[in-house]
Amino acid sequence: MTANNKYKGMEKRIKSRRKTDQDLLESLEKFNTLFQHTSDQIIYLNQDGNILDVNTRVLNFYASPKDDIIGKHYSEIKEFNSKGIHAVFDTIVEEKSLPINLDFVMNKKEIFLEGTASLIEDGGDVAGILLILRDFTERRRVEERLKESEEKLNMIVDNANDVISFIDIEGKVIDVNKRVEDMFGFKREEVIGKYISEVEFFSLENLEEAMTLLDDFVAERPLKKLEYEGWRKDKTKVFIEINPKLIKKDGEVIGVLNISRDITERKLADEALQQYREQLEEKVSARTADLEEANNALRIMLKKEGEIKKELEEKIIINVRQLISPYIEIIKNCRLDNRAKKYIEILEMNLNEIISPFLSKSDINFLGLTPTEIQVANLIKQGKTTKDIAKLLNLATSTIDTHRKNLRKKMGITSKGVNLRSYLLSFQNG
């Protein structure tokens, strides 16, 4: 091989080595960029626990210069002096890689870190330990708040007065609160995981209705509130009102939330009230029948009393007209002095006054009128004047005036300011 060929071979090897060195340098630069700018904290320790290197994220997080951290034992940094890192050094050689969780207080705030610890080896020897940590403080706090909210929600649900249950689209009871024990006597464990067809507090009729409800919510049809009769574990009856609500996730129905209320007391009270109403209606009907019967009897008695009263009034009028009035007329035709005549007129007037209340309700025929007086009375009732009546009956107007006076006298209204026609119209017959 000539010197020239040797030179060319050496030049080629040198160029190849330079390229390898360049590639290695670029790889180191890339690694360093990733090492410094990753969002995780990266800490590199030797097997004795001394810190060999940290990335920028560590320096920013703890607000410390690099010189205050590099070279120190991890236990000298209070945030690292924890059981989490101690446990790593106890088992890392055997496990090679371990999950790690750190919990410490910094600036009066509790901090939570999580990550992995990995064993770094070089030719079979331990070169160091690499910790990659991520701050999950906010996530932990959110989880704690969620857990607290969940505990509060569970406390509210478990202490609710109603049974709250969740049933999936297959009809299986996924969860139910503790109220089911009070309402039905079944433990939660006896109900959870069962299909509604297997739950023993449904009657056959109610089970069919529940299955129809299940079909409705699978088809996403509107769900209605329903009432049903159920059975407790001790076989006593219970009345339940269910208010169902569809539960969706990502737009798809995943189940139904049922709120079941014990309405036994209300139902029994309604039944008792209905029974009382029916009994009251029966009593009212019976009482109404009794009152109707009493009213009928009273109407008959009143009618009979009216008939008796009318008969008595008619008898009084007849007796006065037949047994007294004729004799008064006889006496009036006798030779009497003026004083006696005056007394007779007063007597006749008083008799007419006595029977006048009866006359207004009686037949005009009881007045003892002459045929001509009856004719005149009927014509007066028709609205005829004295002149019209005189012409119709072919009598003098003075004669008609006399008949009018006799009518007023016999009806007892001589000295009363009563219209004769109106008075005559008040009689039942004319």
| Two tokens, residue 132 | 């990659």
> Over the chain, what is the mean pLDDT?
80
Q: How far apart are CA 259 and CA 226, in angstroms?
A: 11
Q: In this structure, is residue 338 part of a structural domain?
A: yes
Please provide residue 423's backbone torsions phi and psi, each rounded to the nearest 5 degrees: -65, -40
Write down which residue in 74, 106, 137 finishes a domain.
137
111 and 74 assigned to the same domain: yes
**DSSP assignment letter at 245:** E
Residues 208 and 228 in one domain: yes
* 211, pLDDT greater than 80: no
Q: In the chain, what percentage of residues exceed pLDDT 70?
A: 82
Task: List residues bridging with 246 in a β-sheet.
Answer: 256
Q: Could you tell me if 355 and 377 lie in one domain?
A: yes
Q: Within this chain, do residues 165 and 258 fall inside the same structural domain, yes or no?
A: yes
When pLDDT is averaged across residues 105-123 and rounded to a whole number, the result is: 85
Could you tell me if residue 291 is inside a domain? Answer: no
Is the domain of 330 the same as that of 413?
Answer: yes
78 occurs within a structural domain: yes
β-bridge pairing 252-262 and 125-135? unpaired
In angstroms, rounded to a whole number, what is the distance separating the alpha carbons of residues 109 and 105?
Answer: 5
Residue 228 falls inside a structural domain: yes
347 and 413 in contact (C-beta within 8 Å)?
A: no
Number of domains within the chain: 4
Inside any domain, residue 144: no
Report, as an integer, the average pLDDT of 200-213: 62
Query: What's the pLDDT band for 430 if we cut at 50, 70, 90?
Result: very low
Least confident of 1-5, 39-43, 49-53, 306-310: 1-5
pLDDT, tens digit, 9 for 90 and up, residues 39-49: 788 888 888 88
Domain span including residue 23: 1-30
The letter for the amino acid at 292 is E
Same domain, 25 and 54: no
Q: Tell me the pLDDT band of 397, cut-offs 50, 70 and 90.
A: very high
Q: How far apart are CA 239 and CA 268, in angstroms?
A: 9
For residues 12 and 60, state if they share a domain. no
Same domain, 180 and 251: yes
CATH label of the domain that carries residue 204:
3.30.450.20
| Distance (Å) of CA 47 to CA 74, 137, 157, 178, 237 | 11, 28, 53, 54, 73
Same-domain status, 125 and 164: no
Helix (H) or strand (E) holding 257: strand 252-262
Domain identity same for 192 and 256: yes
**pLDDT reported for residue 396:** 92
Do residues 421 and 383 both lie within one domain?
yes
Judge whether 281 lies within some domain. no
- Among residues 368, 364, 363, 365, the alpha carbon closest in space to that of 348 is found at 368
Q: Specify whether 339 is located in the same domain as 371.
A: yes
CA contacts within 13 A on the Cβ side of 213: 26
Q: Is residue 249, in this structure, part of any structural domain at all?
A: yes
Nearest to 39 by CA among 113, 128, 100, 120: 113
Domain boundary pick from 221, 242, 262: 262
142-172 pLDDT per residue, tens:
888 888 888 887 788 888 888 888 888 888 8
What order do you get walking across the sheet with 226-231 strand by strand? Answer: 173-176, 163-168, 252-262, 237-249, 226-231
pLDDT, tens digit, 9 for 90 and up, residues 272-282: 899 999 999 98
Asked whether residue 155 is domain-assigned, the answer is no
388-422 CB burial, b ≥16 within 10 A, e <16: ebbeeeebeeeebeebbebbbebbbbbeeeeebee
Last residue of one domain, picked from the residues 73, 104, 137: 137
Give the SS3 label for residue 200: coil
